[in-house]
Structure 1
Amino acid sequence: MDLRPQSGDRLQAGRLHRSYDVVWVLLGLGPPVIAVSDQPDATKYGSLALLAVLALCYATVRKASPYTFLCVLVLVLGAMSYELGGGAAMFIVSLPHFWILARSPRHAIAFSGAAAAFTLVGGTVRRGWDAEFLTGNVVSTLIGYAAGVLLGLWMHRVLGQRDERARRLSAELETTRLRLAEAYQRQGAAEERERLAREIHDTLAQGFASIIVLAEASRAGIGDDPGRSARQLLSIERTARENLAEARVLVGAAPQSGVAAGSVARTLRRTLDRFTEDTGLAVNADLPDIECDQQTRIALLRCTQESLANVRKHAAATTVGVVLARHPDGVELEITDDGRGFVPGPSQGFGLDGMRKRLAELGGELTVTSSLGDGTRLLAVIPTNDQV
């Protein structure tokens, strides 16, 4: 295992390495410089030259070519041990280099073992096998090497366990991320299907239902009232064109919304005029020209279209009332009819549920009040942008 710092620990490891650099310079290079100061010139200048080469390699090639520096370090430790008659202290202080720079414990053990051997050989060649050397540098070097190997292997195990935990955690996080991405994708697909279903119901389905009703009425009255049948056929053509435009919006071949820009009052007025023309029902409308954004205008139009479609299909009403108003809290749209009414329940059909969800997306709400024989009142409330 590579004992060099991983990405998550680089900052902390960098601080530790810089601290060790200071210790190594002070305790690894400093004492030999002091020790050779009173030696003969040949020994002094030779030792200083070796230390200078080591310091230069440390500054220039340690990061770019760590094994080159370790080879130089092994040779200099042996040479300094020869020059000083022993180099156990410098060897022990330099041991962390082998574990920091080597790419595996095997390489660290090999390099530090070579450094211990060169240190022992250098001192032995210089001093021979006297008792002081054996009990001092030799024992210290061997103990230092053994302790360095044990400590290095222990650190390797600790770091290995940490890295293994980090890998497992990373794998778990990646698995969780993928699951979340899949969940978001499924949720997005479900929301898109729901949006398309709502748009199709509010536009194409309502248009086709209107076309069917008008076609049946036109066919029934084509002999008795050709003029009315002609108007109904014209309304069928107009509705079909609108459905075609809405279909292009749904498949992305036209700008989104499918609703031309303009005043919400004029937009609702055109819808109500079409409803009166197609059904013959009386519509009492109070539509002041209020300002609202495009999304609010579309929501109000879709609520009006759905409500009128329900009146046409289910209410058997004679009169419809539509009131648009602006209040401090937002915009309100009230649609009433004098039809047969119904008993509101938890599930009131896709149309009402679609209206609620459309309004909820804008922070609004829908209230439906009805009872059998007393007609129906629908109130849509959409807060203005500064109230959302």
Structure 2
Amino acid sequence: MTFYSKLPHIGTTIFTIMSQLASEEGALNLSQGFPGFGADPVLLELVGKYAREGYNQYAPMSGIPELRQALAEKTRLTQGYLPDLADEVTIVSGATEAIFSAVSAVVRQGDEVIVLEPAYDSYEPAITLNGGVPIYLPLNSIDFSVDWERVQAAITSKTRAIMVNSPHNPSGFVWKESDLEALANLIRDREIYVISDEVYEHITFDGEKHFSLGAHLELRAKTFVCGSFGKTFHVTGWKIGYCIAPKNLTDEFRKIHQYVTFSTVTPIQFALADYLQVPDRYLSISAFYQRKRDLFARGLAETGLNIIPSQGSFFQMASYSHLSQISDQELAKEMTKKLKVACIPISVFYSDKKDDKIIRFCFAKEDQVLLEALERLKNLSLVL
């Protein structure tokens, strides 16, 4: 028998590779995007409470009503619109599942899906597995904003969807209101849907505001907003996220979701429903991460690297093209081995592995870890 892979071009992700190398080398892991500190003890206690009280069987496929209501209220408070908890809000097992199910709901064989690069690596497999054709467009190289004229030129009669991400991973760019207007103008008279990855919605800096596509009345009708409780509350291992979309899109989304994971861990849903009752628990997240970004960026500037400003997310990119022409993947491995600091090479976020000599660090770590990493990075000349 001959086995044919549906994803023959895909191997182990760079995130797994770098985290494994960091573990083998005893390096500080600033590569994979997960917090290096624990969750609020209040949230952990709530999970234990509901687990002990017996909330351990299947939750409703769409999520428990209490959490969908709390999420709808959070959306009203932060974005100014109130999604219908019954028909527009679905709790899922992580934002990656939300993205996959959203793509599956609208993309058919031969449909084109625009992907703005650099892009998170789960987008393309979701498109390919559903018979779609990814159309890659680069973001502006200076600040990683969207070149809307280029997007317009890429739209054809086969364009079915556009993948968007703000705050952006890996660059940290945050969309402006003008970006939402530009996108709305492009798809106004077309049957084009939007899958919006907004997992870093509560992590923006320097007064930048996150504008959810769901808050734009026109875009809302065509958009799947995919979010993450794990990113917001430092519990990425819980794999719990959500999708907000209009009823007609949610109906199709749930058809897929029910056969992917069906439901999401029950006591955690009840715990989050309680935890969300205090808005400051998510409204304070930006200030918390800005302190870490500022600490890390100040130190990084002393290493000789050129910082690319991060407006959001918990990532900081830096360029080294003025120092060396070593490939970013080779540099990342050498830094892990010799400096004992692991990062991610940005070329892996491009379909053609475009190498602009940029690396990405995750600063969602304890301050002492960041300070130690910065001290080690002062020896950057050893690997350049």
- Sort the TM-score into its range (normalised by shorter chain): under 0.3
Higher strand proportion: 2
Higher helix proportion: 1
TM-score (norm 1): 0.21
TM-score (norm 2): 0.21
